[in-house]
Amino acid sequence: MEYADDADRRELLLHSAYAAEQVRVMERPLLDRGVPLMRMAAQAVAHTAAGMLDDEDLALEDTSIVLLAGAGDNGGDGLFAAAALAQEGAAVTAVAVGRTLHEEGFAAFVRAGGKVLVLDPEAGIPGCASGFSAGEAGERLQAAVSLASKSHLIIDAMTGIGIHGVLRGIPAALASALGLDGEVPDESALPGRESSGDFPLVLAVDTPSGVGVDDGSLPGPYLPANVTVTFGAMKPCAVLPPATFGSGRIELVDFGFDIDDVEPAVEVVDNTFASDAVRLPHVDDGKYSRGVVGLVTGSQRYPGAAVLTARAAARANTGMVRYLGPERAQNMVLAALPEAVLGKGHVQSWVVGSGVPSGDADGADADLQRQTIAALLRHYALDGEPAVDDAAYDMPPVVVDAGALDLLPDRVPGQVVITPHAGEMAALLNRLEAGRAGTRADDASPKAGGYAGAADAEDAHDTVGFDGNADSGIDSASTGTGTGSPETAESKSDGTESNTVSFPTADESEPDVTGDSRAASPATDTPSSSVTPDEPAAAFTARDVTAYPLACARRAHELTGATVLLKGAVTIVVDEDHTYVSGSAPAWLATAGAGDVLAGLVGALLAQQDDEITTAETVAAAAYLHGMAAAIASESEQQGWQEPDLVGHGRRQRFMTLGHPIVAGDVIRAIPEAIADVVA
């Protein structure tokens, strides 16, 4: 077996995921050279299975193992692995979930003394029963569920990268009975911390059956794993939420794919990646050259967000923080951060909206912060007019958070960064999709009235349109300075028609062998939304966003042009061409105000950039530093995503430090140390 021995290759493999089709292309030259990939995969699976049982102090000869074997090569991997385990004395039963089994794998398994249970009456597996009645098929299915439930280890080799859509038929019935139906496993944040003594353990071969391999979704029944042994390279489901939460520990087998010239489908942020976004101070630096962040955050009602964004931005390697907001918030910012400067001036980035009421809040129309933000965001609106668009592209980067999300213009350049959590993303998509479908021609919406364009921008990096006093003289959205007209669904032609968010549905043509309605229609509990350009969209919910976060983030990018950061235990960042994820945060970070800290941190990193790295890379680095600061503050080793173990390179220690609760302010205090760690 070839193992990665080069440090750069190893780093790349451990932080990159490749789509199923890319993996098939990369495996081709090896298969053509006759490299026995399936045997190598099976050997790793058998080795990992033995290790999992050994961790539970079980000798192989005392264990019962159930292999769920599909008809494809994933089943073949499982059969060869099961044969090896049977040879070592384990009692192994292979449950054939399809109509055939991988021929050589099956032969090896039978030679090793394994038993086979066939579930599909139409199956044609040599020496095994077939043509049995529907009633017997139901009984066999129940027997398989019972056998698997009582076993020590289930090896899930039903489907790998060859899955199409939602799991259906017998595999769906088994996953429903033994696993979950689209939900994320309900576990404490430190799975595998110590032996649970709960059997059966589940080892997934290549990918857990039922997950969306390329988009990381959980569209229906799937079998969550304790450990996934994945071959050649990680697939997106190993790093993307929510599928990554159902994958358990990932063990990666390096087949020696030529990955140097292949662009990963998803990149996981690590220290090296994040360090590129931190500008080290120069000997000739002054405060302005180190980056100035302008904040229009906090409000009369939520002044605390002003303090959190200001303190976070100030601690994240910037030269200066400018604050605009109501007097109460100004006073609080100055008390917490005497270094802050009030009022307008030159800035290299903006942060707007954290702690600002959204448009549906009482009195939102009269809120001065919203009016200030609306005036600023007009300068980012693209309307196809070259002069207007050029001016928009020249504006400094802006982070549009929380209450400002509903003030986002229809189309913006990529230096506009939106930072929703799942609920905010659902609301945003509903607004955008409704706007496209022309179902909500709401003149009172923040989008109405057109956009001012940037004709009044004296300096693209200045506080365009602002009076120095944030409480008066604001270039108000309601003054109607705009000249453009809002795009209608008809007038808009942004080329996004083909890229819609569509949620898979069950293929109901498959027989229901169980009588279990979930097996016949496994998607009955899948999200309600199915968005096509021609019909009004059903409302998105936060649950939809949590189940299909990548699709939703991409959709928000397609509709707006903004760089999208979708928050969660694993945060996703997308732009036109790239997808980044950061899973550095412990779950202790899920605490009020943590999002405000992130907004300030993103603004700070954007303010210190030259043109060497992209907005999306900077934003992804900020998410990573945010998580690292939370890890330092909480003294926790738990993370939303753990690096895989590379098979053949030993296993990482399993006993992680749980840490302790934190508040958002603790995260801010740890930002400097997080920065120091990544640049060290």
Ligand X SMILES: NC(=O)C1=CN([C@@H]2O[C@H](COP(=O)(O)OP(=O)(O)OC[C@H]3O[C@@H](n4cnc5c(N)ncnc54)[C@H](OP(=O)(O)O)[C@@H]3O)[C@@H](O)[C@H]2O)[C@@H](O)CC1
Ligand Y SMILES: Nc1ncnc2c1ncn2[C@@H]1O[C@H](COP(=O)(O)OP(=O)(O)O)[C@@H](O)[C@H]1O
Q: Closer to ligand X at the Cβ: 68 or 167?
A: 167
Q: Which two three-digit tokens encode residue 202?
A: 């589940």
Backbone φ, ψ for residue 596 (5° rounding): -65, -40
Closest to 210 in 3D by CA, of 502, 526, 566, 555: 526
Q: Closer to ligand Y at the Cβ: 587 or 679?
A: 587
Does position 229 interact with ligand X (CB under 6 A)? The reply is no
Q: Which two three-digit tokens encode residue 94?
A: 């292979």
Does position 41 interact with ligand X (CB under 6 A)? The reply is yes
Q: Report how far residue 229's alpha carbon sits from residue 46's, in angstroms, rounded to the nearest whole number.
A: 10
446 burial via Cβ count (<10 Å: 0-12, 13-18, 19+): buried
Other Cβ atoms within 10 Å of 536 Cβ, number: 14
Q: Which two three-digit tokens encode residue 586?
A: 């412990």
Q: Which of 31, 129, 441, 592 binds ligand Y (CB under 6 A)?
A: 592
Instruction: Please state the length of the chain.
Output: 680
Among ligand X, ligand Y, none, residue 23 binds (CB under 5-8 Å by kind) = ligand X
Among ligand X, ligand Y, none, residue 164 binds (CB under 5-8 Å by kind) = ligand X
Does position 204 interact with ligand X (CB under 6 A)? The reply is no
Q: Which two three-digit tokens encode residue 133?
A: 């009645």
Backbone φ, ψ for residue 503 (5° rounding): -95, 130
Annotated binding site for AMP: 567-571, 595
Q: Which of 67, 85, 148, 163 binds ligand X (CB under 6 A)?
A: 163
Residue 568 to residues 78, 240, 421, 640: CA-CA distances in angstroms? 33, 11, 7, 9
Q: Closer to ligand Y at the Cβ: 90 or 565?
A: 565
Annotated binding site: 305, 355, 421, 567-571, 595-596
Instruction: Report the nearest approach of ligand Y to the CB of residue 626 (Å).
Output: 6
Among ligand X, ligand Y, none, residue 569 binds (CB under 5-8 Å by kind) = ligand Y
Q: Which two three-digit tokens encode residue 410?
A: 């229809």
Q: Closer to ligand X at the Cβ: 237 or 570?
A: 237
Instruction: Report the nearest approach of ligand X to the CB of residue 102 (Å).
Output: 8
Q: Of 543-572, which residues contact ligand Y (CB under 6 A)? A: 567-569, 571
Q: Closer to ligand Y at the Cβ: 25 or 184?
A: 184
Closest to 245 in 3D by CA, of 554, 549, 598, 575: 549
Does position 171 interact with ligand X (CB under 6 A)? The reply is yes
3-state secondary structure of 234: strand
Residue 403 to residues 162, 332, 605: CA-CA distances in angstroms? 42, 20, 21
Q: Which of 249, 411, 421, 431 binds ligand Y (CB under 6 A)?
A: 421
Q: Which stretch binds ligand Y (CB under 6 A): 46-54, 293-301, 585-593, 643-651?
A: 585-593
Does position 511 interact with ligand X (CB under 6 A)? The reply is no
Among ligand X, ligand Y, none, residue 72 binds (CB under 5-8 Å by kind) = ligand X
Q: Which of 13, 60, 71, 308 binds ligand X (CB under 6 A)?
A: 71
Among ligand X, ligand Y, none, residue 162 binds (CB under 5-8 Å by kind) = ligand X
Burial 585-596 (b: 16+ CB within 10 A, else e): bbbbbebebbbb
Q: Which of 106, 222, 231, 540 binds ligand X (CB under 6 A)?
A: 231
Does position 236 interact with ligand X (CB under 6 A)? The reply is no
Among ligand Y, ligand X, none, residue 548 binds (CB under 5-8 Å by kind) = none
Instruction: Report the nearest approach of ligand X to the CB of residue 546 (Å).
Output: 22
Q: What is the DSSP letter of 155?
A: E
Q: Which of 10, 121, 138, 165 binds ligand X (CB under 6 A)?
A: 165
Closest to 601 in 3D by CA, of 618, 620, 626, 583: 626
Backbone φ, ψ for residue 30 (5° rounding): -70, -45
Contacts 24+ apart (CB under 8 A), 332-337: 332/298, 332/303, 332/304, 332/306, 332/307, 333/298, 333/306, 333/307, 336/307, 336/310, 336/311, 337/307, 337/310, 337/311
- Which single residue is written with the structure tokens 């998105």? 540
Does position 585 interact with ligand Y (CB under 6 A)? The reply is yes
Q: Which of 47, 152, 168, 315 binds ligand X (CB under 6 A)?
A: 168
Does position 361 interact with ligand Y (CB under 6 A)? The reply is no
What is the helix (H) or strand (E) element at residue 267, kind and residue range? strand 266-268
Q: Report how far residue 606's alpha carbon sits from residue 617's, in angstroms, rounded to the nearest whole number.
A: 10
Does position 161 interact with ligand X (CB under 6 A)? The reply is yes
Instruction: Report the nearest approach of ligand X to the CB of residue 242 (Å).
Output: 18
Residue 55 to residues 110, 197, 475, 601: CA-CA distances in angstroms? 28, 10, 65, 41
Q: Report how far residue 576's alpha carbon sits from residue 208's, in angstroms, rounded to the nearest whole number.
A: 29
* Contact string (CB under 6 A) for ligand Y, positions 363-402, x = contact: ----------------------------------------
610 burial via Cβ count (<10 Å: 0-12, 13-18, 19+): exposed
Among ligand Y, ligand X, none, residue 398 binds (CB under 5-8 Å by kind) = none
Annotated binding site for (6S)-NADPHX: 305, 355, 421, 596
Q: Which of 13, 14, 27, 119 binds ligand X (CB under 6 A)?
A: 27
Among ligand X, ligand Y, none, residue 316 binds (CB under 5-8 Å by kind) = none
* Contact string (CB under 6 A) for ligand X, positions 255-294, x = contact: x---------------------------------------
Does position 37 interact with ligand X (CB under 6 A)? The reply is yes
Would you tell me which residues interact with ligand Y (CB under 6 A)?
421, 567-569, 571, 585, 587, 589-590, 592-596, 598, 626, 640
Would you tell me which residues interact with ligand X (CB under 6 A)?
23, 27, 37-38, 41, 70-77, 98, 159-169, 171, 205-206, 231-232, 255
